[in-house]
Amino acid sequence: MQAMAGPPPKPWPTGLSEQLEPLVRRVLAPNPSPYTYTGTQTYIVGGREGVAVIDPGPDEGDHVAAIESAVDGAPILAIMCTHTHRDHSPAAAPLAARNSAPIVGCAPLIIRTDRPRADAPFDQSYAPDRVMEDGEAMSGPGWTLRAVHTPGHTSNHLCFALEESGALFTGDHIMGWSTSVIVPPDGDMSDYMASLQKLYEREDSVFYPAHGPQVDRPRQLVRGMIGHRRQREAQILRLMGEQPRAIPAFIPAMYKGLDERLIPAAEMSVEAHLIDLEQRGLAARSASDTGDIWQTN
C-alpha cells in the first residue's frame, strides 16, 4: 500500500457521466474515503443499442439513479462486477431488478473464516446469474468484454478487457492512486504478485481502475508496482533480521508519514507479505501474549 497522490481538488464529477472514449463512460459514486479515494468509479461500456455496467458500486439511491441517467434508456445487457467488496457490487441487485438485467462476472466469495469478521468488507448478498471464468467473454452490440482472472486483492477478482479498444477495467487489482490493499485471509500476496505479472505480460492500451485516474502507460505502472512490492519484502526481511517483532512494530520504519486512518491497512499488507514469506520458507512466527512474533527463517 503506497499512496501516490492525494485526491484532486473539488469539485469532483460525482454523479456525472464522463465520456472517456467512444465506447466508455464513467460515473463517480458518492462514497469518498481514505480507502476509496474520490469514490468508486462505475463504467458504462457500449452505446444506444445496449450497454454493460462495470462495478455498479455501493447501494445508494443517488448513484443508481446517476447510472440510469448516464445509460439514458439504452438496454442494460450485463451488470459486471470485478469483485464483491461493499464499495463495488451492492448496487448490482437494485440495478438488475429495476432494469431486468443479468448480473455477470466474478464468482460469489467463499471466505475462509479463520478469524473474527473476516467477511466484514464483503457483499454477502451478491448473487450472479452467470460467473465468468478466466478468458470467457460477454458481448453486446459493438463491444466484447473478456474476463482476466486476477486474484490477490480478493480471490474472486476479475479484470475485464474491452477488445475493441484495448482498454482494461482493473477494479481494485490496479488502482490509479495507490497500490492495492491485500487483506488476509482472502487477500493473498503470492496470487497478487502472479496477477501483476499476468498484466505485465499483456499489451493493454489503458487501464480504467475503480478508484483514481486512468493509467495511460499500463506496463510501466505494473512494473513499478512489482518493484515496490519487492522493496517492501526486502524491508520486512531486513527489519526481522535486525530484531524479531510483531506486526505493528514494522509500520513506523516502513510507512513514514502514513495517514493514521490507513494504519490498519498497512498492518494487513505487512501480514500478507509475512504469510507469503512464511509459505516460501523465509519467515517463521512464534506465538506471544501480544500476538505473533515474526523472525527470519
Q: Which residues are catalytic?
A: 87
Closest CA to 158 of 144, 166, 167, 169: 169
* Residue 46 or 209 with smaller CB distance to Zn ion: 209
Nearer to Zn ion, 25 or 85 (CB): 85
The nearest distance, CB 36 to Zn ion, in angstroms, is: 9
Q: Which of 23, 78, 169, 172 binds Zn ion (CB under 5 A)?
A: 172
End-to-end CA distance of the chain: 25
To which residue does cell 480504467 refer? 208
The yes or no reply on residue 85 touching Zn ion (CB under 5 A) is yes
Q: How far is the CB of 285 from Zn ion (least distance, A)?
A: 27
Binding segment (CB under 5 A) for Zn ion, from list 7-15, 72-80, 172-180, 288-296: 172-180
Name the nearest CA neighbour of 278 among 291, 296, 292: 296
In the complex, least distance from residue 85 CB atom to Zn ion, rounded to whole angstroms:
3
Nearest-angstrom CA–CA distance, 255 and 265: 11
User: Which part of the chain contacts Zn ion (CB under 5 A), choosing from 5-13, 166-174, 191-199, 227-235?
Assistant: 166-174
Give the residue from 148, 152, 190 showing the smallest Cα distance to 170: 148
191 within 8 A of 151, measured Cβ to Cβ:
yes
Select from 15-23, 170-178, 242-250, 259-267 the region that touches Zn ion (CB under 5 A): 170-178
In the bound state with Zn ion, the residue whose beta carbon lies nearer, of 38 and 277, is 38
- 86 is an interface residue for Zn ion by CB under 5 A: no
Q: Are 277 and 189 in contact (CB under 8 A)?
A: no
The distance of closest approach from Cβ of residue 289 to Zn ion in the complex, given in angstroms and rounded to an integer, is: 33
Measure the CA–CA gap between 147 and 157, rounded to whole angstroms: 10
Q: Which residues pair with 78 in a beta bridge?
A: 52
Binding site for Zn ion (CB under 5 A): 85, 172
